[in-house]
Structure 1
Amino acid sequence: MRPNIVHIVLSAILLTLFASSSYGQEIPPKKTSISPVIPSDTTVVKVPEVDNIPDSTQIEVAKVQDTTKPKKGAILSQIKRKAKDYERIDQKTKQITLYNEAELYYEDIELKSGIIVMDYEKQEIYAGRIKDSTGAYTQFPVFKQGSNVVEPDSIRFNYKTKKALVWNSRTEQMDFRIKADITKRENDSVYYMKGARFTTSKDIDDPEYYFVTNKVKFVPGQKVVVGFTNMVIADVPTPIILPFAFFPMTDKAQSGLLLPSYGENNQRGFFLQNLGYYLALSDNYDLAVLGDYYTNGSYALRGESRYAYRYRFSGNINVRYENLITSERGLPDYARQNIYNIQWSHTQDSKASSGSRFSASVNMGSSKYFRQSINQVNVGSTMNNNLSSSISYSKSFATIPAVNMSLTATHSQNTNTEEINMTLPTLQASVDRIFPFAPGDGPKKGFIKNLNFQYSLRGENRIKTYDSLFFKPQMFKDAQIGLQHSIPIATNFKLFKYFSASTTANYNEVWYMKTIRKDYDATTRKDTTTTVNGFDAYRTYNFGASIGTTIYGTFNFGSDKKIQAIRHVMRPSVSYTYTPSFDQYYENYTSYATAEAVVKEYSRFEGGIFGSPGKNLSNNIGFSLSNTFEAKVTEKDTTITEPRKVMLLNNLNLSTGYNVAADSLAWSPLRISGGTQLFKNKMNINFGATLNPYAIDNQGRVIDKFNIDNGGSLFRMTNANLTLGYSLASSDTKSGNKKTGDSQGERNGGRDDDLFGRNVDPSSRNDQSDDEEKDPISEFFKLDIPWDMTLAYSFNYSNTARENRISGNSLMVSVNSDITPMWKVGVSTGYDFVQKGVTFTQLRFDRDLKSWKLNFSWVPFGTNSYWSFFIGIKASVLQDVKYDKRSVPDRIIQ
């Protein structure tokens, strides 16, 4: 948080002014006296009487008696100046007068004004306005030093002592605009301002709001102290008053209090939510500690930290913990629950290291965190069903052949079943391909020259557990460890000019630290499985070959047709794989668990990370066909002679297989999948279906009989699916599709759009004001209303055992629109046609109040119903000037 509300504004003006101070001087004889400024009009500076200058704009400057002999012309050569009407140098009074569009440049000072008078004996500069033919003041002074700019009515500046007096100064620093009646610099480190008002409104003369104070003391780089300060809205003073205030003065982030929101919950009582403290620890990292407290004893703690080192890495960490209490101790419905969530994102800069890389994306915690959390900011993430994490380190060694190594820790969590799968860690190492028969610098053509092999190693420590056992001793006892060595040997070559062929041979060796032994226990009369600790291994191998080609076909309809031609590309391929039986790794035991003795077969490697060796001989022939359809369409614009290419079907794939060694059910189901893009790639359509050629019996089991021979069709559809995604915006034809994603929702495990609602937190310290330039509001609002829409449709059909059931059929939509230049509305909703109900629905309203913003978010129904209201200043330096009111979703602790 940056609490330096006034100091940044004041620093803009006051640093712009070199100096500000008052000083006295002796009054010489009348002929050389200086006429005082008339109190009734302090903004009019009188200059010496000059021909053709109206009296109202003239300055009378008298020579001041000074015993010090000035250096004649010492500074004139260093000054660059110009004026539209005239430039006058008076050696007697030691003054330079510039009139009408006057400009003066000295060192890092730039001064533009209607009239400028420079007294190089007293080393002072005077600048003011002039009147035009109508009597109105024009050409206000613009004083610039470095990056600081001041636009006063008049200015008096001593360029030696750096002292200055400024009347009705206007300046801007960062988000602040400041206007002060009089600004004065006492010495090198103290500034004073009188009659000052500061605001973040773009119109300093007619702001929507401002803070007014009569006394300001400013010490550059240290502090700002103000006296009685009142907030004014629409020129109406409000009850918001500060008797005094102190602000640290620095251009860096400052530590400070984060103001909370408050409310009442019918289960937990009154609350303060998101109360905290921001710690600006350094330029490279910070920390925000926030918390919630409820009067029934529930509380929550959160820590948020961001870090960044230029050209090295950046990231952020969020840690959340909540202690939830429902009802009161002793009552039947009393419940207590602890939930937590940890998020970590780390990205390494590409310039940091060319040979190694480290990255992290962590989102883990209680499965019910987002569903049970008492912080409504996360309500948009309650639909998350999965949490996932990955931490990886990779390194490449510049050897010949190249060697690559990586260590990865992964985490996958199903929030419905509360099942957690982790690898701590996964080790992968590989040696690049080696071509033993290829020349060092020649082409690799033919069967022999293309022959290559490589080596890869994969080791895993895999853990499967549940929420209740997470990081408990039992979790580590059930861990599985295994290593897999692979050596593939492959080559490819051309066959009959038009066919591409390849052959492969794979050798695999798997090492386990645990195996199993199955037996029959006569005491318990049950089959038992015993874990055997110790090293064991098995080895497998297989062979494969494939051949394929590409066929092009074009159907021409004529250049005068709307569709001139359709191009069809087919890529058929046939593959063959052979895997022998590895029955030497199988054992038998006799079970008496039933009335009859049964001989059962098993492999001691069952349940291992990389599975067990196959017992059945596999001799498969695979068939696949890939299709692409593309059209050439005549452009509507007759000046364009070349036709436009339109993708009809991006892919249409068919695949099946036949097991030569199988004694039944030799044919594999036919799998059909495809997808395309429509409406200039704004709509994505994907579909798939599985067709089984075999029939089923009355119990729903597949039998060795073709479905067509059983009185049915050639194929039996067992399942089908269709997904559709559509994104569109009114600006598509101008500047591309508009994306309105929810980055925090994505980090929480959700989508990158707002189909499932948006995590709305308008008071977040990371929220930035919208400073984009907008079109001016005309008398009549244009019909070109900005809007964007995201739509998703999902359909699933299941008929595996004649159930003939639609298992899923839902439509989700999110729409956002600027109904007026100042009003934005949005809605996320959907409908489940299977459950016959409306899905999660969220309504959003945003009002642009120029310097302020207003947000209202509402979930009208469901288990997560809530509302939140926020109004506050856009600028981050005044983000604590706000009103934030929100409800907390009433959830049942499960």
Structure 2
Amino acid sequence: WSTEKAKIQGVLTQEGENFVNGDAVKKVDSNTLYMAGTGFTTCSHAEPHFQIKTGKSKIVLGERIITGPAHFEFFGIPTPLVIPYGYFPTNLEKPDITGLLMPSFQNSPSQGLGIVNGGWYFPINDFMNLELRGDLYLRGSWAVQATTKYRKRYKYNGSFAYNYRYQKRGLKLYEPFGGYSLTKNFSIRWSHSQDQKAHPTRKFNANVNLQNPNFFKNSANPEDLLNGTMSTTNNTMNSSITYNQKLGRANLTVSGNHTQNNGTQNFTTNLPKASFNVPRFFPFKSNDGRGQWYEKVGVNYSSVAEGRLKGNLNTIGTLLDSVPGYDFSDVLKEYGQYGIKHSGSVSTNAKLLKYFTFNPSANFTERWYFQQYDYAFDSTLNKATVVDTLSGFSAVRDFGLNASMNTKVYGTFLLSKGPIKAVRHMMTPRVSFNYRPDFGTAYWDYYQNFTDTLDNSLYYNRYSGFLYGSPGRGSNGSITFALDNTVEAKMAVRGDTTGQVRKVKLLERFNFNTNYRLAAEDGYHWNIVRLTAASSLFNKRLRLTYQGQFDPYGYTPEGDRTPVLALNLGQNLLVHRTSQFSASTKLSSNKKNSRNAVAYDQRGGAFTNGDIDFYNYQDLVPLRNDWDIRFNYDLRFLTDVEPGLEGEASPMFINEFSSHSLSISGSYRPTDNWSLNYRTGIDIAQKSVGFTTINAVRDLHCWEMK
């Protein structure tokens, strides 16, 4: 072994992402192999499903593979796809390796037969490389692409690509009939990413995509469009550049981005966008450890300044070409939106009377704009229209208050007999309050008010469609009430004599919630009461859930809802509206019952000797016998309110099923490579069988058959 030379029969090795096998191998040193009957593939199977086969080859481990004439094999069958020679780099990360980038063949009805994506790889230095690729079609179309990638360890990495396409579609003699076209298109892409270890406080990233408007449209194959096989996601072009700077605990981000639809030519550009964010801090916190209530007061602050240009390239181009004196400054004024937004919040939490948790908070938003709309009422149209855009600084602000309080109540019941030793009931009552004043009054001057010809009041927002919007009209205040319940039990461990117990959740949740609207103008102050419940039985094998909605308001004899409590109309405390109950379970096989094939010489001669695997011959596929089946039961019913009988003081409440079904699904996997999946169901309400599907899947290693 001192010479490191050898002759080897039957070799299988891996080079990069490729697997290499050879019938006979001559090893001349530690890194160089000469092979006869060589196969190259990315298939990891012992008998590859596809490979490039060649008579002779030279392999320099970790660097390159050089071959003579080679052909492509599919499931061991030679194909007419051949190459005169091959040069395959196996480690493109090494800077000193150059070589051929293998092309592929493509047949396009509009461009003819072509060889595409072939080229050469050039190392430039330790930090940069270059790939030159090209396409060539028999009808004269061609394309070139140059891509350079760069990387500096712990600093940055990126790539720059230039693509040029010269495309002929159809034949020249069909040009009078629209069957021929010639297009020239280009695209430039730059991607840059800074390593997180490059700088502790600064970061720069870029993703720039520039192309002529017809690049996507002209590079698409018409036959793909007709067949529906082309992805249209690339029809939108996106570019972005982002710079991030940490300032202590604060964070400053400056970015610019551009989004463009190449089909409609609509675009949105930020010129630029700067955001400043301060995470929550405690301005009154001291270091003496006294823990006063005001030391828990936390403050959040963020701001964003942005200039946004939004429009259509074709429309803007027409204006620039046809309107005298119309220039880019007019474009910025007509299609641009500008603004600054400040947002902040103050919050804290405190314990009240030892057992109650109180969480108050206040939030504030202020928008700075530099223009506003001025409306005038048109009696002919019976509505107001924008008559002018007034320049000047405007501060548009809104604020709100929030508070919540909750506690926990426990009840424990001890039992001396039976397997259940104790039951604990935990209740969590919660109350929350929120309020926001009416910003639609004349005091704030965010809206203009007019009276139409029918004496209706009309309100028009002076900042409609602006960058950060504006506060809505009407005050908003509500009180939310909720009660959460869980029930747990301590049960003795079966067969245990040491007194050990285990916890079991009898009721995972049983929750109520509703809210009261303080400023409801329609008289319906109370909202719908919602009830949810869930539990798991039989060691979580059976899952039960329930959801229901109940109306606190009553109904007139005509069946109409009225802002009078149902209890006052003698219609019970709550009126049932909808309920949904579901149950689900899953049964599965015991995978320990799976048996492997047993070799003949392990079965003890010609007699079975009680061996249940005697007839499980060698080379038979071992059985997995894995299966599972899932049942889902769903029941939904609602209460319809119909007019009552003549002379009755109440309507009729009619309960009916909206859905009632049982669905069954599962899978069966007899072997490692075969599986069956099925789904069916029964519509009990309609007395019919649902749509049934059965899928058979065969794992073909490199592919999958369904």
TM over 0.5: yes
Instruction: Give yes or no for the alignment of 1:276 onto 2:135.
Output: no
2:699 alignment counterpart: 846
For the pair 1:397 / 2:247, whether they are aligned, the reply is yes
Q: Which amino acid aligns with 2:408?
A: T
Matching residue of 1:180: 24
Q: Quick check: 1:600 aligned with 2:453?
A: no
Counterparts of residues 47-446 of structure 1 (less than 5 Å): 109=2, 150=6, 152=8, 170=11, 172-174=13-15, 175-180=19-24, 196-199=36-39, 226-227=67-68, 238=78, 244-248=84-88, 251-252=91-92, 255-260=100-105, 275-277=116-118, 311=154, 350-355=196-201, 374=224, 394-398=244-248, 402-406=249-253, 427-446=274-293
- Aligned match for 2:622, one of 778, 782, 803: 782
1:294-693 aligned at under 5 Å gives the runs 311=154, 350-355=196-201, 374=224, 394-398=244-248, 402-406=249-253, 427-446=274-293, 448-459=294-305, 480-522=337-379, 526-530=383-387, 531-554=389-412, 561=419, 567-582=424-439, 583=441, 584-586=443-445, 588-590=448-450, 592=452, 594=453, 596=454, 598-613=456-471, 615-628=473-486, 641=500, 643=502, 649=508, 652=511, 654-659=513-518, 664-671=523-530, 691-693=550-552
Structure 1 residue 500: Cα displacement: 1.7
Task: For residue 286 of structure 2, give the secondary structure of its aligned residue in structure 1.
Answer: coil
Q: In terms of mean alpha carbon deviation, does 493-502 or 803-812 score higher?
A: 803-812
Residue type of the partner of 2:365? Answer: N
Letter in 2 for 1:276: N
* 3-state SS of 2:524 partner: coil
Equivalent pairs, count: 631
Q: Matched residues in 1 for 2:111 and 2:673: separation?
A: 34
Greater strand percent: which structure?
A: 2
Deviations 1:2-47 (A, max 9, x none): xxxxxxxxxxxxxxxxxxxxxxxxxxxxxxxxxxxxxxxxxxxxxx
Conserved? CA contact 1:518–1:589, under 8 Å: no
- Where 1:444 maps in the other structure, the secondary structure is coil
Which blocks of at least 5 consecutive residues in structure 2 are unaligned? 94-98, 179-186, 320-330, 594-615, 643-653
Q: Residue 480 of structure 2 contacts residue 513 of structure 2 at CA under 8 Å; is this kept in 1? A: no
1:740 paired residue number: none
CA distance in 2, matches of 1:382, 1:571: 51
The change in CA–CA distance for 1:436 and 1:423 in structure 2 (over 3 A counts) is same
Query: Structure 1's 274 and 206: CA in aligned 2 closer, same or farther, altered over 3 A?
Result: closer
Residues 676, 695 of structure 2: 8 Å contact kept: no
Query: C-alpha distance in 2, partners of 1:826/1:198?
Result: 40
The secondary structure found in structure 1 opposite 2:348 is strand
Matched to 2:552, the amino acid is: P
Tell me the C-alpha RMSD between the 2 structures: 7.5
Deviations 1:111-154 (A, max 9, x none): xxxxxxxxxxxxxx7xxxxxxxxxxxxxxxxx58xxxxx564xx
Q: CA deviation at 1:846?
A: 3.3
Amino acid in structure 2 at the alignment position of 1:548: N
Q: Distance in 2 between matches of 1:274 and 1:839?
A: 46
SS in 1 for 2:622: coil
How far, CA to CA, are the matches of 2:474 and 2:311 in structure 1? 32
Contact 1:785 1:817 in 2 (8 A): yes
Alpha-carbon spacing, 1:554–1:710, altered in 2? closer, same or farther (3 Å): same
Q: CA deviation at 1:433?
A: 4.4
Distance 1:426 1:450 in 2: 33
Contact 1:423 1:461 in 2 (8 A): yes
**Farther off after superposition, 492-501 or 654-663:** 654-663
TM-score scaled by length of structure 1: 0.50
- The aligned amino acid for 1:518 is Y
Q: State the 1:421 CA deviation.
A: 9.5
Secondary structure at 1:439's aligned position in 2? coil
Deviation per CA, 1:251-276: give whole Å up to 9, x if none.
3375523425669xxxx789879953
- Tell me if the contact between 1:151 and 1:169 (Cα under 8 Å) persists in the aligned partners: no
Contact between 1:275 and 1:291, CA under 8 Å: does it hold in 2? yes
Report the CA distance shift for 1:821/1:695 in structure 2 as closer, same or farther (over 3 A). same
Instruction: State the TM-score, normalized to the length of structure 2.
Output: 0.60
Judging changes above 3 Å, is the alpha-carbon distance between structure 1 residues 725 and 532 closer, same or farther for their aligned structure 2 residues? Answer: farther
- Structure 1 window deviating more from structure 2 (812-821 vs 455-464): it is 812-821
CA separation in 1, counterparts of 2:553 and 2:678?
47
Q: Is contact 2:25-2:36 (8 Å) kept?
A: yes
In the alignment, is the contact (CA less than 8 A) between 2:549 and 2:577 conserved in 1?
yes
Q: Quick one: distance in 2 between partners of 1:678 and 1:522?
A: 69
String of CA shifts for 1:479-532, please: whole Å, max 9, x gaps. 654433234333332211111223334443222244333322356565313554
Closer, same or farther: CA 670–488 of 1 in aligned 2, 3 Å? same
Amino acid at match of 2:429: P
Letter aligned with residue 551 of structure 1 = V
Q: Residue 616 of structure 1: CA displacement?
A: 3.5
Q: Which residue of 2 aligns with 1:748?
A: none
Paired letter, 2:20: F
Task: Map Cα deviations across residues 354-411 of structure 1 (whole Å, 9 max, x no partner).
Answer: 4456789999x99xx99x993999979999xx9999987654322xxx3233457899
Instruction: Verify the 8 A CA contact 1:390 1:410 in the aligned structure 2.
Output: yes
Q: Which has the higher contact order (CA 8 A, sep 6+)?
A: 1
Query: Could you tell me how far apart the structure 2 residues matched to 1:247 and 1:231 are?
Result: 15
Q: Distance in 2 between matches of 1:349 and 1:216?
A: 40
Aligned residue for 2:671? Answer: 820
CA contact (8 A) 1:717 1:799 kept: yes
Is the 1:567–1:631 Cα contact (8 Å) retained in structure 2?
yes
Describe the shift of the 1:720–1:847 C-alpha distance in structure 2 as closer, same or farther (beyond 3 A).
same
2:677 and 2:694 in contact (8 A); partners too: no
Q: Secondary structure at the match of 1:449?
A: helix
CA drift of 1:624 comes to 2.9
Larger radius of gyration: 1
Give 1:755's aligned residue: none
The whole-number CA distance in structure 2 between the counterparts of 1:826 and 1:224 is 44
